[in-house]
Chain A
Amino acid sequence: MKAAIDGFCFSRWWSMVRKEFLQLRRDRVTFAMIVGLPIMQLILFGYAINTDPKHLPTAVVMADDSDLTRSLVSVMEQTGYFQITRTMPDEASAKEALRRGEVQFVLNIPADFTREVLRGHRPAVLLEADASDPSATGNSLAAVPSLVQQVAVRDLKGPYAALAGGQAPFDILPQRLYNPEGLTQVNIVPGLMGVILTMTMVMMTGLAITRERERGTMENLLATPVKPIEVMTGKIVPYIAIGLIQATLILVAALLIFSVPVHGSLTALYAAALIFIAANLSVGITLSSLAQNQLQAVQLAFFYFLPNILLSGFMFPFRGMPGWAQAIGSALPLTHFNRLIRGILLKGNGWGDLWTESWPMLLFAAIVMTVAVKFYRKTLD
């Protein structure tokens, strides 16, 4: 008799799970969030946020209008990085447009440019760049050196062919491993799965439990024979299901819309996702034990998101971060999940590579869960 009362009771636990599903079904806002959040983020990060920006607005100051200079401009546009939006009368006004952020680049073609070229004096063309966001201009500038060669080969013909030096123009285009086209989505979209799961799992479990406390229904629950462990685990089951649905949603979008390749094992990917979901749910439960109300739960959740988004290698390359940031990043489950999922999708990793990145996530979940159990209040004290 006593054992049955003190121990975990499956039917009581199941009644808790049922209740959560019933409530979730009626919670339109939450439901919208489950589907809307991944879609919104996919659009934002997959399309809008592009770390290899192209068609950057460029102004040209044409002090010398010739076949050669027109050819230079058109070759620049053909790279895809530059889009000539303005032709300016003088350097001062072009500089002003640059300062105001209306253009990203200014191309200054000096007077007598063509004549100087034909005389073999090697004149300079000045390309001014708004480099306040280096990642926006980095790739564009990298493409510039090869332009000169292309123009030379194309336009310096006949008696002037010798000026081109006879050398074949060589490319300095960056070579990208695992992502030959240099598409940012291929890197960003898999990383999004972890970011979205972190947001929904932590936030929703945090809210689900504090909501009971805030509405006073927790008092009712605690007055019944339901055990705290049954309340906790019963409440998170629906969110495991939600997590898997979201993972699938993102995966499908990645494949169909963003043409992210799947080189590795899908089952290994789902296994990784489950471990990652567990780690995040443990964070959600801990937050809800610490938070007094739903607002605090949301604030704590954001407090947790920040290092995750910044230090997990999602936003910035992990190897580019200073040592202390890498140390923090290594403790976060998202860092390991990002490596796992990119490894599986892009590099063709599988079960064999799962463990090296899984144990830090499991360790994290175990530690956080211990904290949660310690702080969980069985009474209203």
Chain B
Amino acid sequence: MSSDFAIDVRGLNKSFHGRRVVKDVALQVRPGEIFGFLGPNGSGKTTSIRMMCGLLTPDSGEGTCLGYDIVKEAALIKRQVGYMTQKFSYWEDLTIRENLDFIARVYGMNDRREAVDRALEDLGLSARANQLTGSLSGGWKQRLALAACLLHRPKLLLLDEPTAGVDPTARRDFWEELHRLAATGISVLVSTHYMDEAERCHKLAYIAYGKLLANGTAEEIVAAQGLHTWAVRGANLGGLTEALRAKPGVEQTVAFGSAIHASGKDEALLERSLREAASGFQIEPIETGLEDVFIYLMNRSEDNFGGAA
């Protein structure tokens, strides 16, 4: 391999109809790492993933995936990558077994029968193998899709919002499975909207309006923004948000059910403002969370790029 990374791309750009939807994206994913790819809808996650596995040609940029050039050696990348599309993309008019069998054939697997049988067993779908795929529920489709893209034993998984619309139990099982896979040395790039999932990734990248705004471990990302956060608790928090917002040093407020998180970069100014505006409420400094940071990043990116995009 020409690179120590499972994914190593730099300066990726892509425009559709003159609109740049991915801007200078650079990512590095190590072997055995679960890398979370976060960002609001339309921020360019899917487009970036497609460029990494050769489904889209970048307008500019370069890099490797499993050591192969993403532009020139896309065919080689495809053999060793498992790509799970955002939208379920197996054939609903084929049975579960036929879908798996087709994938196994396409990858030219020698032990096709055994591989399909084992996948069905692992899935717990052996009894329903001859059922049409279209009749499966969302959670089952997601499990089938994961099993199908693992069938040819890829070294890298690219998962595009794999848990969208899946219930919490199934999501938890899914993440257990991802960690098991990562432990065997498989690298995983997974895009998601869920904060709890972000916290289960080894590394994270946050993208908005096509631009990477943060990159690193959760701690690094939180630290990099230099935000200080206080929690405000008490009865009747409803009207308080407006009052807090108006104060200097309070750059962001986020309502969290029983508390409001108020964040700002200037610690002293933030504290003074809170003591003035929230007298009568219970206030205390807390650790800035990933969610506070992502909301902060998104709001800031809206101010910076939202108008131009």
Chain A residues with CB under 8 Å of chain B are 2, 5-6, 9, 11-12, 14-16, 18-19, 22-23, 26-27, 215-217, 219-220, 222-226, 379-381
Contacts and interface: CB of A to CB of B under 8 A. Distances in A.
B89 A6 contact: no
Interface in B47-101: 50, 53-57, 75-76, 78-79, 81, 83, 85, 87-94, 98
Given A223-B53, A380-B50, A381-B56, A11 B91 contact: no
Contacts of A18: 102, 105
Contacts of A9: 108
Contacts of A27: 93
B90 A223 contact: no
B103 interface: yes
B308 interface: no
Question: Size range of the interface on B?
Answer: 20 to 34
A19 B76 contact: no
B89 A219 contact: yes
A216 to B, nearest CB: 4
Nearest to A4: B108
B94 A219 contact: no
The binding surface of chain B is classed by DSSP as loop
Nearest to A2: B76
B243 interface: no
A19 B91 contact: yes
Given A22-B94, A23-B91, A225-B78, A220 B50 contact: no
B106 interface: yes
B91 A225 contact: no
A28 B94 CA distance: 14
Task: Determine which residue in A2, A9, A14, A380 has the highest number of CB atoms from chain B within 10 A of its CB, and name it.
Answer: A380
The binding surface of chain A is classed by DSSP as helix
Given A12-B106, A27-B93, A225-B79, A22 B57 contact: no
Nearest to B102: A19
28 contacts: A5-B75, A11-B108, A12-B106, A15-B102, A15-B105, A15-B106, A18-B102, A19-B91, A22-B98, A23-B91, A26-B93, A26-B94, A26-B132, A215-B92, A216-B85, A217-B89, A220-B89, A223-B55, A223-B78, A223-B81, A224-B106, A224-B107, A225-B78, A225-B106, A225-B108, A379-B57, A380-B55, A381-B56
A222 B88 CA distance: 14
A20 to B, nearest CB: 10
Task: Determine which residue in A216, A224, A226 has the highest number of CB atoms from chain B within 10 A of its CB, and name it.
Answer: A224
Contact of A226 (B81, B87, B92, B106): B106
A221 to B, nearest CB: 8
Contacts of A26: 93-94, 132
B98 A379 contact: no
A127 B205 CA distance: 90
Contacts of A15: 102, 105-106
Nearest to B87: A216
